[in-house]
Amino acid sequence: MNRTTLSLLAACTALAAVTGVASLTAPGEEPAPTTAAADRLPVERSELLCPQPSLSDLAETDYTAFTPGGGSGDRSGARSGARLLPATEAPESGDGGDDGKAGDDGKAGKAGDEPDPFLALEKPGVPVTAAAPDGGGAPALVGTADGALAPGWSAQQTTVVSSGEGRGVYGVACAAPDSEFWFPGVSAAETRQDYIELTNPDDTAAVVDLELHGAKGPVETEAGEGITVPPRSATSVLLSTLAPGGAADLAAHVVARSGRVGAAVRATDERTGGDWLTPAAVGTGSAVLPGIPEDATSVRLVALATGDGDADLKVELAGPTGSFTPAGHETLNLKRGMVTAVDFDDLTKGEPASLVLTRAEGAESAPFAVALQVIRGKGGAREMAFLPAAGPVQGRATAADNRAKGSVLSLTAPGEAAKVKVTASAGSGGGEPVSKEYTVRAGTTLRVDPPVPSGGKGVHALTVERVSGGPLHAARMLALPSGKTPMFTLQTLPDDRGTVVVPDAREDLSLLMR
C-alpha cells in the first residue's frame, strides 16, 4: 500500500472517528442502505432583527423577549444567553460575546462585557422587558440566542404613537434575516408614508434590490437597484421615492443580491393610523390569513402571482361555525407580476374569521403572495393593521408581548380539526404560568381570550402548541384603545422553528476496501 493510499485511509478514518455520523460513498454510487431514523432536536442558535421602530417624537416603544420553558437546546455544554443590541454595536458575525443578566423583576440587566446589551435574557419561561428612549431616535436591534435559550426565542417591539398623523399601535415580531421578501399591500398614495426598513446583522455590507409591482405589472424605477446596507446597520427607504404617481395598491419585492437582511414595512396613513406590514409567506397551492377581527369595518386584499404563471384561486372564509364562500368573490384570478386589489364589504358580518385561498379546481399550481389591510372604527376614529399570509404552526409559536387585557387569539384549522394548547407564561414582574387546551373544529376559526398568568404582573408571553390534528394557523390581536379610537395591532404566529430535523447516519468504511 503506497503512501497516498495510507494518507487517504488515515484521513477518512479520522473523519469518521470525529463525526461518528459520516457515510462515505464513492461518486456516482448509491449510498449504503441504512435503517437509521431522523431525530428532531432543538436548535442551538437563533438570530432576530428588530427594525427601527418610529420616526415620531411622540413614539413610546417597549420590547419584550422570551424563550419558552421546557427546552433543551444546550447540548454542547456551552453557556446559554440571549441578547439584543443596537445594530451599530452588534459584535461581528460569529462573536456572541458574553451573556447578559436579567434581574428578579424581569427587567433587562447588564452584560458582563462591552457592549452592554439593550435587552438580555438569562432563563427560559420568564419574559424580560425594556423601554426605548422616547421619541424617534431608537435604533434597529440585532440579537442572538445560544444554548437552552435558542429554541423558540422570540422578541416583540410595540410602539404607541398617541396622536398626530401616525397615531396608532405598531407591533412587530423581530424576525430572522433572509435574502428575499414579498410585501403585498404597500402603498405610495398621497395619504400614506411607507418606509421599507432594512437591517444588516453581518460584518460585511449587503446589497439589496427593491422591485415594485402595480396593477399593470412591474413599476419602472432605478432608485431601488443596488441599495447598500452597511455592516451592522439599518437603512430606511421611503416607498414613494421609488413609485412616483401615487399608486395606492403595490407589492414590494426585496431581494438581497449579496449578504442578508431583515425587512419590514412601517406604514402610516394620515386618516387611518398605522402598523407594520411583515413579509407574506409565498404559497403555491394555498394561503391562510388568520385573525380578521369580528368588528372589522374594512378588509382589503392585495395579492399577485410571483412566479412565471397566473394563479387561479378559490376564496373561502373560515368562521366560528364553518367555511363559506363570500358572495360575489367566489374566485380570484392573479396575473403574473400584476397586483390585484379587492375590497370585501361587510366580510365578517360581526364574527371573527380567517381568509382561506386554495388552488381552483383544474388550475395550474403557481406561487403567489397575499396580505390583508384591516381597519377597525369609523370616521375619524379609525385604525389599520395588516395580516399577511402565514405558514402553519407545525409545533409551537409565541407572541412575546401580551397584557392582562387586550390580547385576543385567533386559531384556524382550514382542513382537519386541531387540538391546541395555549400557555400564558409568568409575567415579567412575577406570577405563575397558566395553560388551557382548545379544540378547533375543521374549517373554522376559534376566537379566544387567552389565559393570563396566575398572580402575574407586567407583560407575559403566549405560547401556542399544536397538540394533534390537522394544520393550524394562528394570529394575535393586541388592542390598546385610546378614547374612541380602537388602536390595535395584528401579528400572525408562524412556527418558531425551535427544532430542526437531524438525520441519524452511520459509518460506512466499505469504500476504503474497494
Residue 428 located in a structural domain: no
pLDDT in tens, 256-289: 999 999 999 999 999 999 999 999 999 888 999 9
Joined together, the cell numbers standing for residue 327 give: 358572495
Indicate whether 508 pLDDT > 90. no
Q: Is the pLDDT of residue 190 over 50?
A: yes
Domain boundary among 231, 262, 279: 279
Residues 32, 158: one domain? no
Instruction: Decide if 334 is inside a domain.
Output: no
Query: In the listed set 253, 279, 305, which residue is the last one of a domain according to the structure?
Result: 279
Q: What is the pLDDT of residue 93?
A: 52
The answer on pLDDT for 161 being more than 80 is: yes
Residue 52 lies in a domain: yes
Task: Output the pLDDT for position 507.
Answer: 64
**Distance linking the first and last C-alpha atoms of the chain:** 13
pLDDT score of 1: 43
pLDDT for 101 beyond 90: no
Residue 309 cell numbers, joined:
404563471
The span from the CA of 101 to the CA of 427, in Å, is 17
Which range has the worst mean pLDDT, 203-207, 217-221, 433-437? 217-221
pLDDT value at position 139?
Answer: 92
Residue 113: its pLDDT value, please? 47
Flag whether 227 is in a domain: yes
Q: How many CA atoms lie within 13 A of 107 on its CB side?
A: 5
Is the pLDDT at 59 greater than 60? The verdict is yes
Dump pLDDT digits (tens) for 428-478. 999 999 999 999 999 999 999 999 999 989 999 999 999 999 999 999 999
Greater confidence (54 vs 129) lies with 129
- As a whole number, mean pLDDT of residues 79-99 equals 70
Cβ neighbours around 449 below 10 Å, total: 10
Indicate if 94 and 29 belong to the same structural domain. Answer: no
* Cell numbers representing residue 59 in the block: 413614539
* Within-domain flag for 413: no
The answer to whether residues 35 and 57 belong to one domain is no
Question: Within the chain, how many helices (H) and strands (E) appear?
Answer: 1, 38
Identify the pLDDT of residue 34.
Answer: 42
> Is the domain of 202 the same as that of 272?
yes
19 and 99 in a single domain? The answer is no
**Same-domain status, 124 and 177:** yes
Of residues 398, 413, 383, 462, the one with CA closest to residue 175: 398
Mean pLDDT of all residues in 77-88: 84
User: What's the pLDDT band for 92 if we cut at 50, 70, 90?
Assistant: low
Number of Cβ atoms within 10 Å of the Cβ of 413: 27
pLDDT of residue 106: 40
State the pairing for strand pair 81-86/141-146: antiparallel
CATH number at residue 80: 2.60.290.11
pLDDT, tens digit, 9 for 90 and up, residues 415-440: 999 999 999 999 999 999 999 999 99
Per-residue model confidence (pLDDT) at position 510 = 62
Does one domain contain both 19 and 163? no
148 and 19 fall within a common domain: no
DSSP H or E run through 10: helix 3-19
Instruction: Please give the pLDDT value at position 88.
Output: 86
End position of a domain, from candidates 257, 279, 301 = 279
pLDDT(76) > 60: no
Q: Which of 93-97, 130-134, 321-325 has the lowest mean pLDDT?
A: 93-97
Q: Which of 58, 53, 73, 225 is nearest to 141 (CA)?
A: 53
Segment among 254-258, 269-273, 309-313, 346-350 with least mean pLDDT? 346-350
- Nearest-angstrom CA–CA distance, 183 and 311: 17
Whether 129 and 260 map to the same domain: the answer is: yes
**In this prediction, what percent of the chain has a pLDDT beyond 90?**
72
Q: How many residues does the chain have?
A: 514
Instruction: Tell me if 338 is assigned to some domain.
Output: no
Q: Do 223 and 242 lie in a common domain?
A: yes
* Residues 110 and 134 reside in one and the same domain: yes
Residue 56: predicted pLDDT: 87
Per-residue pLDDT tens digits for 9-53: 333 333 333 333 333 333 333 344 444 456 889 999 999 999 999
Domain residue limits at 88: 46-279
Number of domains within the chain: 2
| Together in a domain, 117 and 165 | yes
The continuous run of DSSP H or E covering 304 comes out as strand 296-305
The grid coordinates of residue 452 equal 393570563
pTM: 0.86
Residue 72 lies in a domain: yes
Whether 505 is covered by a domain: the verdict is yes
The answer, yes or no, to whether the previous bond of 414 is cis (omega within 30 of 0) is no
Which of residues 166 and 94 earns the better pLDDT score?
A: 166
Q: Reply yes or no on whether the pLDDT at 324 is more than 60.
A: yes
Flag whether pLDDT at 345 surpasses 90. no
